[in-house]
């Protein structure tokens, strides 16, 4: 298949709409010429076939003091009470008002709520801005407000961002996350019923499965492979095992049995000629490094990662407690600039997006060069993602089964 045809196939996959600013709600000249929320919903109505459900995915992503532990995607609203008031009145209320319009009542609207926000309150309180987000209660209050307003609309479904296995996969982190989420959402108007599930791997690249490393307790050279340098005693090597562990933990904490998971598979395919097909070696690091399809130098590397590929296409109800595989992040949209680029969107420069940067873990960032600011189109990345797609674009396994 010609490469141009592969790119056209990818262009036909459904992706989520990122409402990452107040202007993004309105679209047009206020938002780099992109469609606004009303236009997206009207397009969905035009595409809907008779007696057939259609789903629109939205990413709610403008919490005050957004991305408190990173710099590439910090947002427009300050981490203050004034910022929180604007978030409620000029952002959430406007979104809720649009999607509550009766003409959209037959569209299933799936909301991904504030990526990275609550996970940062689990692990990154040593960062001053994250500590402030916790101490002021602004993150929690803003997110609860969003969930309450959106849950009140009958055709909406709320999914909370739950980071990824390389972030919250350790038992201590997972236990703390389940405790925090339970505490926060028990106090919403509908309690835990205000949440339909969780989204993992949002805008990340952690594999759906690690086919050559199915058992983290496998011993090589007398040591379990989860103790390798790459996994650092984290028993959750991939998003499928992570979602299963989280499901069991949340249900044990009192959440409904019907909760489920959406996994972002937009960039976690890890295909291409260098994809390993087996693992071998007499010591754990050699064994793990030979077999893992995740080719990053460190699981904490996140910005415009090299060697990544498009993953499993959007699929409804793939099995178990998984509600869907989805392209929450649009393939080809930048995570952040590889150097500081002056802009009027408040986007900073994070060294994790600099391909020459050596991280605190002593490895390179794995970031691609020549990247634009976060949210901008990055053509070189898109080409790479299509080339490294797994399953390969155009194969039978790459056919999308849309919800």
- What does each C-alpha distance from 106 to 44, 55, 109, 111, 296 come to in angstroms? 10, 9, 9, 16, 42
Q: What is the pLDDT of residue 348?
A: 86
Residue of 67, 264, 294, 335 marked catalytic: 335
Reply yes or no on whether 264 is catalytic: no
- Give the position of tokens 């101490």: 135
Q: What is the pLDDT of residue 177?
A: 99
| Residue 18 annotated as binding site | yes
| Residue 20 annotated as binding site | yes
Residue pair 388/353 in contact by the 8 Å Cβ criterion: no
Reply yes or no on whether 335 is catalytic: yes
Low-confidence ranges of the chain (pLDDT < 70): 398-403
| Residue 329 annotated as binding site | yes
Tokens of 18: 């990122």
Residue of 62, 116, 238, 264 marked catalytic: 116
On the 0-12 / 13-18 / 19+ scale of CB atoms within 10 A, 130 is: buried
* Tens digits of residue pLDDT in 95-110: 999 999 999 999 999 9
Q: What is the pLDDT of residue 403?
A: 54
Terminal-to-terminal C-alpha distance of the chain: 27
Residue pair 64/79 in contact by the 8 Å Cβ criterion: yes
Q: What is the pLDDT of residue 352?
A: 96
Q: What is the pLDDT of residue 73?
A: 72
Whether CATH 3.20.20.40 fits 3-398: yes
Q: What is the pLDDT of residue 395?
A: 85
| Residue 164 annotated as binding site | yes
- Residues 377, 381, 386, CA angle at the centre, nearest 5°? 115
Q: What is the pLDDT of residue 400?
A: 64
Break the chain into its structural domains and give their ranges: 3-398
| Residue 74 annotated as binding site | no
Q: What is the pLDDT of residue 389?
A: 98
pTM: 0.96
């Amino acid at each position: 298949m010609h490469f141009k045809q592969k790119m056209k196939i990818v262009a036909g996959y459904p992706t989520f709409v990122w409402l990452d600013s107040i202007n993004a709600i309105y679209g047009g000249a206020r938002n780099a010429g992109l469609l606004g929320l009303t236009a997206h919903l009207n397009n969905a109505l035009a595409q809907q076939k008779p007696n057939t459900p259609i789903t629109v995915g939205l990413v709610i992503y403008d919490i005050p003091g957004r991305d408190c532990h990173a710099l590439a995607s910090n947002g427009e609203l300050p981490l203050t009470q004034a910022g929180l008031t604007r978030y409620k009145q000029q952002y959430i209320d406007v979104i809720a008002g649009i999607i509550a319009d009766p003409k959209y009542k037959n569209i299933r609207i799936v909301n991904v709520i504030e990526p990275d926000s609550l996970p940062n309150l689990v692990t990154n309180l040593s960062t001053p801005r994250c500590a402030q987000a916790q101490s002021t209660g602004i993150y929690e209050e803003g997110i609860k407000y969003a969930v309450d307003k959106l849950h009140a609309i009958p055709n909406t479904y709320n999914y909370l961002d739950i980071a990824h296995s390389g972030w919250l996969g350790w038992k201590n982190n997972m236990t703390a996350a389940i405790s925090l989420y339970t505490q926060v959402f028990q106090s919403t108007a509908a309690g835990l019923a205000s949440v339909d599930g969780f989204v993992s791997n949002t805008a990340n690249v952690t594999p759906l499965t690690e086919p050559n490393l199915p058992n983290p307790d496998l011993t090589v050279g007398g040591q379990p492979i989860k103790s390798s340098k790459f996994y650092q005693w984290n028993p959750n090597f991939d998003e499928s095992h992570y979602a299963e562990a989280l499901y069991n933990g949340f249900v044990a904490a009192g959440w409904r049995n019907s909760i489920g998971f959406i996994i972002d598979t937009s960039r976690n395919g890890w295909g291409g000629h260098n994809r390993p097909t087996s693992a071998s070696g007499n010591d754990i690091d050699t064994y793990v490094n030979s077999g893992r399809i995740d080719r990053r130098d460190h699981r904490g590397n996140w910005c415009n990662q090299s060697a990544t590929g498009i993953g499993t296409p959007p699929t409804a109800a793939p099995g178990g407690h998984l509600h869907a595989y989805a392209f929450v992040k649009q393939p080809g949209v930048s995570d952040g600039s590889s150097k500081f680029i002056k802009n009027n969107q408040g986007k900073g420069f994070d060294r994790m997006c600099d391909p020459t940067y050596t991280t605190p873990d002593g490895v390179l960032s794995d970031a691609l060069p020549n990247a634009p600011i976060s949210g901008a189109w990055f053509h070189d990345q898109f080409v790479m993602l299509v080339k490294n797609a797994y399953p390969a674009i155009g194969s039978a396994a790459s056919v999308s089964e849309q919800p």
